[in-house]
Amino acid sequence: MSNVLARPGLPRFDYVRAGAAEEVVRLLQERGEAVRLFMGGTDLFVRMRDGVIRPQVVVDVKYLPGMREVVYDEQAGLTVGAAVTMNQIARHPAIVAHYPLLAEAANSVASYQLRNRATLGGNLCNASPAADTAPATLVLEGRIVLYGPNGEREVPVGEFFLGPGKTARQPDEFVVAVRYPVPPAGAAGRYLKLGRNKVGDLSIVGVAVFGFSDETAPSGYRFRIGLASVAPVPLRARAAEEVLANEPPGEATFALAAEKAMEEASPIDDVRASAAYRKAMVRALTLRGLRAVWEQLA
């Protein structure tokens, strides 16, 4: 009988439900490329189905202690276990109260059903330039917590992304959590995502804007801008941030900063949009984000 499926389905693989972090490290060391880590599987299984990767062993790390926990402390900030799902983030009372930008970004990922599976750690480890939680994590200055042979280490998220699908994770490490510092008092943020439709699509452009008053800045305010889908890695628009720290807040400064953010983007043409359109949308969404954040700050 002919194969009526458009795709060949998942290839055969061994499933291991990890019981201890050391076991994961040992498997990564012993089996190397044959091992793939698994949390929600919404990226992993698509790539396996499409034949892009063919792991022999899929190691499920989401049941390890702490992986599905959210811990908030007024002094220490927020720790989100790597396997916490997007829907959990979008609804967690402490995240909604103290990190609403992260909740907004998580809620922008795909559809409700997918957000029940998709995890924060998986989104960042997949290292897609379009990862919706990346711009928010960049502007909130999150740190990726990795576990390896020597225990835990932290990497600032800005140093974590090295290229499409490439991160600073060593082959024998895995991500256990993301830590976010306490945001400055009175801070405000927005994540604006442009997709081809309202639900279920990767971004054409994603812009996170985060602002707070700061007496050390000549303008009295600092803004951080994170961009997705417009460069090989999600990035901060530093030149735009510089303008906003130095020039008085208002329409003229916001327009100049949006222009700078556009110049900092280096997108490609792909199936979702042209590079030229993406650049124009960086300017438009940055301006819109700055106005929205300023409305909350002023």
Ligand X SMILES: Cc1cc2nc3c(=O)[nH]c(=O)nc-3n(C[C@H](O)[C@H](O)[C@H](O)COP(=O)(O)OP(=O)(O)OC[C@H]3O[C@@H](n4cnc5c(N)ncnc54)[C@H](O)[C@@H]3O)c2cc1C
Q: How far apart are CB 255 and ligand X at their closest, in Å?
A: 28
The one among 21, 25, 40, 221 contacting ligand X by CB under 6 A: 40
| Nearest-CB residue for ligand X | 122
CA angle centred on 209, ends 207 and 211, rounded to 5°:
175
**What is the spatial distance between Cα 87 and Cα 107, in angstroms, rounded to a whole number?**
7
**209 lines the binding site for ligand X (CB under 6 A):** no
| Residue among 117 and 288 whose Cβ is closer to ligand X | 117
**287 lines the binding site for ligand X (CB under 6 A):** no
| The one-letter amino acid at 276 | A
Contacts of 280 (CB under 8 A, 6+ apart): 262
**106 lines the binding site for ligand X (CB under 6 A):** no
The one among 32, 164, 186, 200 contacting ligand X by CB under 6 A: 200
**88 lines the binding site for ligand X (CB under 6 A):** no
| The one-letter amino acid at 42 | T
Residues 191, 206: contact at Cβ < 8 Å? Answer: yes
**160 lines the binding site for ligand X (CB under 6 A):** no
**142 lines the binding site for ligand X (CB under 6 A):** no
**178 lines the binding site for ligand X (CB under 6 A):** no
Closest CA to 90 of 187, 194, 191, 228: 191
Q: How far apart are CB 29 and ligand X at their closest, in Å?
A: 15
Q: How far apart are CB 296 and ligand X at their closest, in Å?
A: 25
Closest CA to 234 of 166, 155, 153, 154: 166
C-alpha torsion 257→125→7→57, nearest 10: 170
- Residues interacting with ligand X, by CB under 6 A? 36-44, 46, 61, 82, 109-110, 114, 117-119, 121-123, 125-126, 130-132, 169, 174-175, 200-202
